[in-house]
Structure 1
Amino acid sequence: MFSSLKIRNYRLFFVGQVVSNTGTWMQRIAQDWLVLSLTGSSAAVGITTALQFLPMLLFGLYGGVLVDRLPKRPALLVTQTAMALTGLALAALTLTGQVQVWHVYVAAFAVGLATVVDNPARQSFVSEMVGPGQLQNAVSLNSANFQSARLVGPAVAGLLITGVGTGWAFLFNGLSFVAPVAGLLLMRSRELHAVQRAPRGKGQLREGLRYVAGRPDLIWPIVLVGFIGTFGFNFPVWLTAFADDVYHAGAGGYSLFNTLMAVGSLVGALLAARRGTARLRVLVAGAAAFGTLEVVAALAPSYWLFAVLMVPIGICGLTVNVTANTAVQMATDPAMRGRVMALFMMVFVGGTPLGAPVVGWITDAYGPRIGFVLGGVVSAASAVTIGLLLARAGGLRLAVAWRRGHPHVRFVPRERREDLAPAA
């Protein structure tokens, strides 16, 4: 489960990300709650989320082209430092009582700009640290890292917000970037797996898009995570609304929902680390279960039932994320990985600016339950549709058989016409 941590460079990267990811989750919780406190609007929380992910939607592909051209470690040093400065600036404004909602909007957009390069650089840098043999394990441990921070960060943020205010959460996040920057500086360059960088030239963006378009094993997983990222992962909008309007649980309830979802996500990440390969059928099944569980949670009659359902939602959501990420990375040529992962992150993360304001408006207009149901229905329907398309592309068909009075559904190879012809 933890085999890639034997590699020194990856171990330094992993430890730095533990600290930084904890700060990132603290800032996310504090940012959402600050906006809700300043405006009283779920739509405003959606706008904040949209601004943070809008740069990925607008410039994500260009970020991938840059990452394929640039050395990954220096690029990460720049992006991590930029995000640290943004957190410190927001902390100063909040602690001095000068913060306004437009300050949060600007900070969210600035973090989004840094993420345009940071995300594909971090994704593709993993293979340079561990090599192809440990890529599956390292990608899964990265997700476990992120989700363990998600487990700790919201809990600490909830205590800080209720105890001393949101500004201290922003300050911790700004200072947390010292750890990954130090880890990057301490790495041994000679132990990295060298990847030939793409030369500067015209048409590299179109080349990346053509590469993905000609590969069903790449394009359909990316389309699936696009639907789920746009409509199914708007938890800042839904969970703030459920905590504030439905269950009247305040910041503590919002923190609890995020913490329980993180427990499930951490379990899902560790299960993925044990899994030998990233199978597309696991991706489709996880996506369908994720959407179905969102619908069930939206209709939950009690606070504690809703809270408990965050755990399996976290498991399924993380299964979708890790399986899609690993499958796409392992199927991609190293020279194209920056552009392909930029497209992956642009679709998965960058779809949120399109979905968050719409989901926020629906939540404000029709209530949190309707907004949550919508996200679940779209996620489940997209999983079923794309699962059938992937099966068709792989020469499979759906077969239903009855065994001991119960239906068993599975995909089997499609019979070819010549197999059906009578023997001469």
Structure 2
Amino acid sequence: MPRFRHPHRSLAPLRHRDYRLFFLAYLISMLGDGVWLVALPWVAMEMGGDSSELAMVVGAEAVGLISCVLVGGALADRYPRRRVIGWSFAASSAVLGLLAAVHLVGGLAVWQLVGAAFVLGASAAISGPASDALTPDLVPEENLHSANALESTVRALAVRMVGPALGGVLVAVLDSLGIIVINAVSFGLAALCVALMRRGGGTGAAAGEEQEAGTVSYREALRYLFGERWLWVLIVWSGVVLLLQSGPRQVLLPFLISGRLGGDARDYGLLVAVTGVAAVAASLMLGARKPPRDYARRMLLAWTAGAASLALIVFVPSFWLLLPLAVVYGFFSTVGNVYWSTLVQTVPSAVRGRVISVDWLGSLALVPLSAVIAGVGSGRAFVVTVFVLGGTLPVLMTLATLRWVDLKALRPPGDAGDAGETDGEPGGQPVAEERAPQPVP
């Protein structure tokens, strides 16, 4: 059997009308996020804010995201998922519209921007798990891997490359009011795309009905999660790796480029762009490639390869030697993320939203602590220690995981082969559906 599929099969998920609309909503919202990432500091500065007030705005969005993500998972299992996503987008559009109206009458202050940022973070926390949980309801399971590769491509292009570039252009030609209005319109268009979706196949969430999952308590959902060793171990694995790596990448790396390697902001931007290009390349490759049978093991090894590149950063003698490491990190971390997104979507639909929300929380909760740890010291010995530990401990964790968790038992969706593919509507069930928890009376 050839390892690569026919090129058009990477676009197979787009054959389904509801998924096309969902994908368009995803694309619009990701572009808006990319624009807002660049524009937000300039909007805050135009309001008269300083660095500490900008930190409050960014922190408020993070607080909204972390504090509401478990609520988002519960809503995704209790109510129709496309409705949860649509109302979340509509809420974001409304709060930005209100912000624009206040700005128009000349009363906008930084504290109002902080409040809006919290709402936007909470909205993302509610729509994110629902979006991840909805994808398996919109495409057959043999197309799920390609769907996640498509979404990964869009995320890398929109958030890391096109969105920030567009944001820079808009900041140059528009004032803060125009930026806020454009972002409000983008969320409104995304909500409209979701509203145009029909009642899809699959579980209650896709059919527009109240889910059976509403009778499955959070206790039972957590019992399922912790009963699946591979699931909770890999969530913990990724959370610890982000604790080790996110702070050094975001806090210490810019200072390393500026101080030791004599670079500037343009060099740092180039490094981020190269990482994004590698992520796009990985996503496109995965979309056209048949999922391997040892799906989970390759996922873990890809994550480890991406993480290990961090240990070498502090030893390179020039900025240009950082670029190959950025390629390794961007490529392999994206491969691992696409595999993981697909694998976690095979959990039973009744608990899928809550499991995904726990995964989100595990990924997000320790990121602020990682930044605090990275900011403790700036000496050469401290920086070397932090980067080396961040690159080597994941390797040891992977070796322990491979011995303790039976990853061979996990199979990718649609593992029966190409013969199971169909051009019809989604009808396959996730491979883990047989292990669904029983509803609590």
* TM tier relative to shorter chain: 0.7 to 0.9
Given that residues 35 and 163 in structure 2 are in contact (C-alpha distance below 8 angstroms), is that contact kept between their aligned partners in structure 1? yes
Q: Which residue of 1 aligns with 2:188?
A: 178
Given that residues 290 and 317 in structure 1 are in contact (C-alpha distance below 8 angstroms), is that contact kept between their aligned partners in structure 2? yes
- Measured against aligned partners, the alpha-carbon deviations of 1:357-396 in whole angstroms (never above 9, x if no partner) come to 443x23xx41799669736633541353144223333299
1:67 counterpart SS class? helix
Amino acid at match of 2:312: V
Instruction: Return the match for 1:217 from 230, 241, 246.
Output: 230
Once the two structures are superposed, the pairs formed by residues 373-384 of structure 1 within 5 Å of their partners are 374=386, 377-378=389-390, 380-384=392-396
Once the two structures are superposed, the pairs formed by residues 263-302 of structure 1 within 5 Å of their partners are 263-273=277-287, 274-277=289-292, 279-302=295-318
Rounded to whole Å, the distance in 1 between the matches of 2:270 and 2:384 is 18
Q: Which residue of 2 aligns with 1:140?
A: 149
Rounded to whole Å, the distance in 2 between the matches of 1:124 and 1:295 is 34
Unaligned runs of 5+ in 1: 397-424
Alpha-carbon distance, 1:100 to partner = 6.0
Rounded to whole Å, the distance in 2 between the matches of 1:195 and 1:376 is 47
Given that residues 23 and 169 in structure 1 are in contact (C-alpha distance below 8 angstroms), is that contact kept between their aligned partners in structure 2? no
1:276 counterpart SS class? coil
Amino acid at match of 2:397: T
Rounded to whole Å, the distance in 1 between the matches of 2:107 and 2:328 is 40
Q: Which residue of 1 aligns with 2:366?
A: 351
Rounded to whole Å, the distance in 2 between the matches of 1:342 and 1:104 is 26
Rounded to whole Å, the distance in 2 between the matches of 1:174 and 1:92 is 11
Given that residues 128 and 195 in structure 1 are in contact (C-alpha distance below 8 angstroms), is that contact kept between their aligned partners in structure 2? no
Q: Which residue of 2 aligns with 1:340?
A: 355
The number of residue pairs the alignment matches comes to 387
Rounded to whole Å, the distance in 2 between the matches of 1:269 and 1:81 is 29
Rounded to whole Å, the distance in 2 between the matches of 1:326 and 1:7 is 18
1:121 counterpart SS class? helix
Given that residues 294 and 373 in structure 1 are in contact (C-alpha distance below 8 angstroms), is that contact kept between their aligned partners in structure 2? no
Amino acid at match of 1:188: R
Given that residues 226 and 351 in structure 1 are in contact (C-alpha distance below 8 angstroms), is that contact kept between their aligned partners in structure 2? yes
Alpha-carbon distance, 1:140 to partner = 2.0
Rounded to whole Å, the distance in 2 between the matches of 1:161 and 1:210 is 48
Alpha-carbon distance, 1:155 to partner = 1.9
Given that residues 129 and 192 in structure 1 are in contact (C-alpha distance below 8 angstroms), is that contact kept between their aligned partners in structure 2? yes
Q: Does 1:159 align with 2:169?
A: yes
Instruction: Return the match for 1:58 from 47, 52, 67.
Output: 67
Given that residues 136 and 345 in structure 2 are in contact (C-alpha distance below 8 angstroms), is that contact kept between their aligned partners in structure 1? no
Once the two structures are superposed, the pairs formed by residues 316-331 of structure 1 within 5 Å of their partners are 316-330=332-346
2:203 counterpart SS class? coil
Q: Which residue of 2 aligns with 1:420?
A: none
Amino acid at match of 1:392: W
Amino acid at match of 1:390: L
1:233 counterpart SS class? helix
- Measured against aligned partners, the alpha-carbon deviations of 1:85-121 in whole angstroms (never above 9, x if no partner) come to 3445566788999776545543332222112221111
Amino acid at match of 1:209: L
Given that residues 56 and 345 in structure 1 are in contact (C-alpha distance below 8 angstroms), is that contact kept between their aligned partners in structure 2? no
Alpha-carbon distance, 1:163 to partner = 5.8
Identity %: 24
Note closer, same or farther for the CA distance 1:292–1:99 as it changes in structure 2 (3 Å cut).
Answer: farther
Rounded to whole Å, the distance in 2 between the matches of 1:61 and 1:294 is 31
Alpha-carbon distance, 1:27 to partner = 0.9
Note closer, same or farther for the CA distance 1:200–1:164 as it changes in structure 2 (3 Å cut).
Answer: closer
Comparing 92-101 and 59-68, the one that deviates more: 92-101
Given that residues 137 and 201 in structure 2 are in contact (C-alpha distance below 8 angstroms), is that contact kept between their aligned partners in structure 1? yes
Rounded to whole Å, the distance in 2 between the matches of 1:70 and 1:76 is 10
Q: Which residue of 2 aligns with 1:69?
A: 78
Q: Which residue of 1 aligns with 2:329?
A: 313
Q: Which residue of 2 aligns with 1:411?
A: none
TM-score normalised by the chain length of structure 2? 0.75
Q: Which residue of 2 aligns with 1:260?
A: 274
Alpha-carbon distance, 1:292 to partner = 2.4
Amino acid at match of 2:328: P
1:192 counterpart SS class? coil
Alpha-carbon distance, 1:187 to partner = 1.6
Note closer, same or farther for the CA distance 1:39–1:383 as it changes in structure 2 (3 Å cut).
Answer: farther
Given that residues 298 and 372 in structure 1 are in contact (C-alpha distance below 8 angstroms), is that contact kept between their aligned partners in structure 2? yes
CA-atom RMSD in angstroms:
3.6
Rounded to whole Å, the distance in 2 between the matches of 1:347 and 1:223 is 7
- Measured against aligned partners, the alpha-carbon deviations of 1:319-348 in whole angstroms (never above 9, x if no partner) come to 232222222222x11211111111111111
Once the two structures are superposed, the pairs formed by residues 28-107 of structure 1 within 5 Å of their partners are 28-31=37-40, 38-40=49-51, 49-88=58-97, 102-107=111-116
Note closer, same or farther for the CA distance 1:248–1:185 as it changes in structure 2 (3 Å cut).
Answer: same
Alpha-carbon distance, 1:67 to partner = 1.3
- Measured against aligned partners, the alpha-carbon deviations of 1:35-59 in whole angstroms (never above 9, x if no partner) come to 7995457xx8776555433344334
- Measured against aligned partners, the alpha-carbon deviations of 1:296-324 in whole angstroms (never above 9, x if no partner) come to 33554444444564333221222232222
Rounded to whole Å, the distance in 1 between the matches of 2:100 and 2:387 is 33
Rounded to whole Å, the distance in 1 between the matches of 2:185 and 2:92 is 10
Amino acid at match of 2:406: G
Unaligned runs of 5+ in 2: 1-9, 206-210, 409-441
Rounded to whole Å, the distance in 2 between the matches of 1:4 and 1:297 is 38
1:325 counterpart SS class? helix
Q: Which residue of 1 aligns with 2:3?
A: none
